[in-house]
């Protein structure tokens, strides 16, 4: 049985929801961003999963694009004072970043599971 047949969803969809990529039932995270050691339902070991800094880099790019675009549009059309930009955009940046971080990290882990990603190995002579 494949992982899609077990849970009815793709491994990536399961991981984005914070669930085990294989079974879709167990928890993927033990805290806000810490991966659990293994699935509490099917026993899948998460030790090989490593999202690294990938989610953070994409979030900086995505949130930066959104906030800078909106801030520039408002600045050129309305002309807010700088203190108002700081008051408005700081919570927006923090909220968007924290809201996107966990699902994006789950997406990275789900993609690693789907493609059976592992550390690079050199061919033995």
**Can you give the pLDDT at residue 49?**
85
2-6, 18-22, 40-44, 64-68, range with the lowest pLDDT: 2-6
Q: What is the pLDDT of residues 8-25, one digit of tens each?
A: 788 999 999 999 999 999
Burial class (CB in 10 A: 0-12, 13-18, 19+), 105: buried
Q: What is the mean pLDDT of residues 74-80?
A: 95
Rounded distance between C-alpha atoms, residue 66 and residue 59, angstroms? 10
Decide if pLDDT at 2 tops 90: no
**Can you give the pLDDT at residue 122?**
63
């Amino acid at each position: 049985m494949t992982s899609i047949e077990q849970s009815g969803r793709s491994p990536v969809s399961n991981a984005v929801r914070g669930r085990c990529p294989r079974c879709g039932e167990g928890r993927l995270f033990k805290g806000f961003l810490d991966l659990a050691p293994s699935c509490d339902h099917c026993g899948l070991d998460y030790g090989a999963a490593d999202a690294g800094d990938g989610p953070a880099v994409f979030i900086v790019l995505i949130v930066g694009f959104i906030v800078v675009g909106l801030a520039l549009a408002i600045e050129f059309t309305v002309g807010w004072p700088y203190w108002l930009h700081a008051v408005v955009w700081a919570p927006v940046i923090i909220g968007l970043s924290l809201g996107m971080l966990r699902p994006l990290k789950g997406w990275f882990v789900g993609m690693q599971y789907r493609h059976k990603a592992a550390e690079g190995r050199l061919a033995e002579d």
